[in-house]
A = this chain, B = another copy of it.
Amino acid sequence: MSKPKDVYVNTAAKDWLPFYPGFQFKLLRVSAETGTWSVLVQADKGASFPCHTHLGAGEYFMVSGRMEVRGGAKNGGITANAGDYGYEPNGIVHDLTEFPLKTVFVFTNHGAVNFIDEAGKTVFILDWQAVLKLEADGLKAQKKALKKAA
């Protein structure tokens, strides 16, 4: 039986890759076995995530900036600043998550995120396989751009 290997990511040596409009990411780790995926996310000032349902719990640690969950503290939600930590349980529905400042945070999701439209229909399922594909696509696009520039 092969044992899982150590993972060590020197994040300074990796480029930010496109994650979602207004967001860039660096892959930290995915587990094909448990479906857990960990990423470092950078949000542009003013960026936001659309409505989504968590099919697995999510955890974050704020490195810099600010995140407003469910309208932020002034609306009964959460306003997370640098150094803060949060855990969002499996099954939670997030209407809108906003980033009023340029922000960097570590995000670990234990399973898939189900992005849905107004009617509740699945638009996109973001799981460990989709995250791996996002990284592969980002690296390919980067290589192509570098070639063109050369």
Chain A residues close to B by CB (< 8 Å): 1-12, 28-35, 38, 40, 55-57, 59, 61, 63, 78, 80-81, 83-92, 106, 108, 110-112, 114, 121-122, 125, 127-129, 132
A86 and B34 in contact, given A91-B129, A129-B91 (Cβ under 8 angstroms): no
27 A-B residue pairs with Cβ-Cβ distance under 8 Å, sorted by A, are A2-B2, A3-B32, A7-B85, A8-B80, A9-B85, A11-B85, A12-B81, A28-B85, A33-B33, A33-B57, A34-B90, A34-B110, A35-B55, A35-B56, A35-B90, A35-B110, A35-B111, A40-B83, A59-B108, A61-B61, A63-B83, A91-B128, A108-B108, A111-B112, A112-B112, A121-B122, A122-B122
Q: Contact partner of A127 among B1, B55, B84, B129, CB < 8 A?
A: B55
Chain B residues in 8 Å Cβ range of A12: 81, 83-84
8 closest residue pairs by CB, A with B: A7-B87, A4-B89, A122-B122, A28-B85, A9-B85, A8-B86, A4-B33, A11-B83
Q: Contact partner of A32 among B32, B35, B89, CB < 8 A?
A: B89
Chain B residues in 8 Å Cβ range of A88: 6
A14 to chain B, nearest CB (A): 10
Given contacts A3-B89, A4-B33, 14 further A-B contacts (CB under 8 A): A1-B30, A2-B32, A3-B32, A7-B85, A12-B81, A32-B89, A32-B90, A33-B90, A38-B85, A40-B83, A55-B55, A55-B125, A56-B111, A61-B61
